[in-house]
Amino acid sequence: TPSIFQPSSNATQNQIQQLDHTQKPLQKPHPIDLNGFSWPSIGTEKRRSETAEEKQARLDKMSGAVRTLLECIGEDADREGLLKTPERYAKALMFFTKGYEESMNDVVNDALFDEDHEEMVIVRDIDIFSLCEHHLVPFCGKVSIGYIPNRRVLGLSKLARIAEMFSRRLQVQERLTKQIAVALNEILQPQGVAVVMEASHQCMVMRGVQKPGSKTITSFMLGQFRSDPKTREEFLSLVK
């Protein structure tokens, strides 16, 4: 399906980064490709297009891997409580990472509207749940998203759906925050975009430093939110 989004006029220039004088320019992936995928993984297309038989084969392979893990930690994978755990976990992991299969075409659909509105729009305290890509344990929290329209607005629920799509992948919080902001900027071409996220990471709570109650806060600003301190301050005060 062709993308409902068109690359911005300066996309080519922004995609090229010169590493040094001896290397060729590095072509960066566009935030949203011509199929509507936003930063797809290497297996996105295969996962999205596989048949029912292929999906079952994937689950069977994952279940076998989980059974191996259970045996490696010293458990009896054949005892009653664990008999169906490999299959359950395989299905759960596919749900936890369903964002790999979703395209921005499906998420946004037809919820782009021309509107004579140029004041700040904010949806705050959107719940997000993700998996840390370093330890495959959860981190969860809330994200607040704001933008200043340039006579084009997006259905409010779509902001939450964009956050959901990116969070349902293996992530780090810094990248997740940036991806939400950059994708929204590409969709709307607004006067500015701001994203602030606060989350608790189980890799810091259940293991490692073991500090319950610690929070990680990340932000990413574009346009007026980055260039105008008063605009940024207004946004931050509204999302507290």
The encoded tokens of residue 150 equal: 């340039």
Active site residue 134: yes
Q: What is the distance between the alpha carbons of residues 100 and 31, in angstroms, rounded to a whole number?
A: 14
Catalytic residue among 45, 50, 75, 135: 135
Taking every pair of Cα atoms in the chain, the longest distance, rounded to a whole number of angstroms, is: 64
Catalytic residue among 45, 189, 198, 203: 203
Active site residue 132: yes
Q: What is the distance between the alpha carbons of residues 77 and 81, in angstroms, rounded to a whole number?
A: 9
Catalytic residue among 115, 133, 174, 233: 133
Distances (CA, A) of 67 to 70, 77, 132, 151, 218: 5, 6, 22, 54, 37
What is the β-pairing status of strands 121-132 and 170-171?
parallel
Active site residue 201: yes
Catalytic residue among 30, 132, 186, 224: 132
Catalytic residue among 54, 134, 174, 233: 134
Active site residue 72: no
Catalytic residue among 102, 171, 191, 201: 201
As beta bridge partners, residue 219 has 196
Active site residue 53: no
First to last CA, the chain: 40
Active site residue 203: yes
Catalytic residue among 171, 173, 191, 224: 173
Which residue type sits at 89? Y
Dihedrals φ, ψ of 128, to 5°?
-130, 145
Dihedral angle of Cα 13, 14, 16, 20, to the nearest 10 degrees: 110
Active site residue 133: yes
DSSP 216-231: EEEEEEEEHHHH-HHH
Which residue type sits at 34? L
Provide the annotated active-site residues. 132-135, 173, 201, 203
